[in-house]
């Protein structure tokens, strides 16, 4: 049997550009497949720049705590494509994936279509054929012209924090990008807006008004999630919840958990109680988002007693929340922070390192071998130097980790692998701890 990886690789030959935002090709293929997107379980549609995956993880955990069966579609994957498609709680298995990929390839019959579009169509087939109570559907890129935006009437539309990213495809300003993200809003469908810049919130509200989406549930207006004495306090018109802190690390996860809570409280038909919410925020898991690696081959390369952390954040706003969390950890247990960083050349490498100035002692830079668009380690090192963080380039992740040293008289370092989801995936793979 041909492996799924070979079929997915072959899909790249169907269109000259890997990213080409349009709904026409997707609609054509779905029609030829019998419109499986109309047969999937009720959809929670999630767009945004940062926090989409974490919010989806909280949603899934809360729904499953209530005994619901949940499909999830996310992207990109870290190690294996199978991570993108979770069927009723379990990652799609190889045999089922090969069968559905072969089917969509046959039906598409060589017509132009992007890899993301054709694999999203395959996911819709699986979601339509396997029973579940809810489908959590994460936008791939943007929203308005994303391949997932073929669902006419989701249960709810969720928009997480929006910042500048993917400017080549979505627009040069955060307001232009917000218009693209708002493309998932639908007439008569409730919407959740996480905390946004004022100008972004204004754009989202205007877009919602034009399509008559709603009711709207807006962070800091209709609901809020905040940290109080280490606990998560959520408050909306229906009352206040005093909850344990999220399992996922970082202050930003209080807002992401709050976004998930707001969405589920706006859907009373699902029957999600405060106990389901409490269980869910304690059970949620989302790899490579401030994940601490406590075992594995990469940890063994570091000095004894070192901490090894991993995060796939790759834009300046993402770096800001990562750096903030590293600062919080420093206050609890002081250790020298060392970054091991690689980035792809569509990202703002200069802006990424600025939040770490004064926090990180050193940056070891590496290539992103899982992408053909990697900055060279020397280019990433120059960006770190520009942020006044000394840096050194290395040929591989392993070489960089071996170069980490204990600074005389201090505790073993806290090492953070960061800058790219591709690099995060490579780290999990080489560490022997892939997502499950």
433 CB-contact burial (10 Å; exposed 0-12 / middle 13-18 / buried 19+)? buried
Residue 374: DSSP 8-state: B
**Rounded Cα gap, residues 396 and 387, in angstroms:** 23
- Specify the CATH class of 4-283 in words: alpha beta
| CB-based contacts of 292, cutoff 8 Å, min separation 6 | 249, 307, 308, 309, 310
From first to last of its 436 residues, the chain has per-residue pLDDT tens of 799 999 999 999 999 877 788 899 999 999 999 999 999 999 999 999 999 999 999 999 999 999 999 999 999 999 999 999 999 999 999 999 999 999 999 999 999 999 999 999 999 999 999 999 999 999 998 999 999 999 999 999 999 999 877 767 788 899 999 999 999 999 999 999 999 999 999 999 999 999 999 999 999 999 999 999 999 999 999 999 999 999 999 889 999 999 999 999 999 999 999 999 999 999 999 999 999 999 999 999 999 999 999 999 888 888 998 999 999 999 888 999 999 999 998 888 899 999 999 999 999 999 999 888 899 999 999 999 999 999 999 999 999 999 998 876 788 999 999 999 999 999 999 999 999 8
Q: Which residues pair with 340 in a beta bridge?
A: 364, 417
| Residues carrying CATH 3.90.190.20, the chain | 291-431
| Residues carrying CATH 3.40.1190.10, the chain | 4-283
CA-wise closest residue to 380 among 332, 407, 340, 330: 340
Place of tokens 């694999």: 119
**Rounded Cα gap, residues 213 and 197, in angstroms:** 20
210 CB-contact burial (10 Å; exposed 0-12 / middle 13-18 / buried 19+)? exposed
3-state secondary structure string, 106-164?
HHHCCCCCCHHHHHHHHHHHHHHHCCCCEEEEECCCCCCCCCCCCCCCCCEEEECCCCC
- Find the farthest-apart pair of alpha carbons in the chain and give their distance in angstroms, rounded: 67
Collapsing DSSP to helix, strand or coil, 196 comes out as coil
CA-wise closest residue to 306 among 296, 320, 321, 317: 296
- In CATH terms, is domain 291-431 a member of 3.90.190.20? yes
Output the pTM of the full model. 0.93
């Amino acid at each position: 049997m041909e492996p799924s990886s070979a079929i997915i690789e072959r899909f790249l030959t169907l269109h000259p550009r890997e990213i080409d935002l349009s709904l026409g090709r997707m609609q054509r293929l779905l029609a030829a497949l019998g419109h499986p997107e109309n047969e999937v379980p009720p959809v929670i549609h999630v767009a945004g720049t940062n926090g989409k995956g974490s919010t989806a993880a909280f949603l899934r955990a809360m729904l499953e705590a209530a005994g619901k069966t949940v499909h999830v579609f996310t992207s990109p994957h870290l190690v294996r494509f199978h991570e993108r498609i979770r069927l009723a709680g379990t990652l799609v298995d190889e045999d089922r994936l090969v069968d559905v990929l072969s089917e969509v390839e046959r039906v598409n019959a060589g017509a132009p279509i992007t890899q993301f579009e054709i694999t999203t169509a395959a996911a819709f087939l699986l979601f339509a054929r396997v029973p579940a109570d809810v489908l959590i559907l994460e936008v791939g890129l943007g929203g308005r012209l994303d391949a997932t935006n073929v669902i006419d009437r989701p249960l709810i539309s969720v928009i997480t924090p929006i910042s500048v990213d993917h400017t080549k495809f979505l627009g040069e300003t955060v307001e232009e990008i917000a218009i693209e993200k708002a493309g998932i809003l639908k007439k008569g469908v409730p919407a959740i807006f996480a905390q946004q810049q004022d100008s972004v919130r204004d754009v989202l509200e205007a877009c919602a008004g034009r399509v008559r989406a709603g009711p709207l549930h807006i962070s800091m207006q209709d609901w809020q999630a905040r940290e109080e004495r280490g606990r998560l306090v959520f408050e909306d018109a229906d009352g206040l919840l005093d909850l344990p802190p999220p399992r996922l690390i970082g202050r930003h996860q209080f807002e992401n958990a709050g976004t998930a809570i707001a969405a589920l409280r706006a859907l009373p038909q699902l029957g999600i109680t405060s106990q389901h919410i409490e269980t869910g925020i304690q059970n949620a898991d989302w790899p490579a988002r401030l994940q601490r690696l406590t075992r594995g081959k990469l940890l063994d390369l570091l000095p004894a007693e070192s901490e090894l952390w991993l995060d796939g954040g790759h834009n300046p706003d993402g770096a800001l929340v990562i750096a903030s969390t590293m600062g919080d950890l420093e206050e609890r247990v002081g250790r020298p922070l060392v970054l091991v960083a690689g980035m792809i050349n569509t990202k703002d490498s200069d802006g990424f390192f600025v939040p770490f100035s004064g926090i990180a002692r050193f940056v070891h830079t590496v290539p992103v071998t899982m992408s053909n668009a990697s900055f060279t380690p020397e280019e990433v090192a120059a960006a770190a130097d520009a942020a006044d963080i000394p840096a050194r380039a290395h040929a591989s992740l392993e070489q960089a980790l071996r170069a980490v040293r204990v600074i005389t008289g201090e505790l073993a370092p806290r090492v953070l692998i960061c800058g790219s989801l591709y690099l995060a995936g490579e780290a999990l793979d080489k560490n022997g701890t892939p997502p499950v």
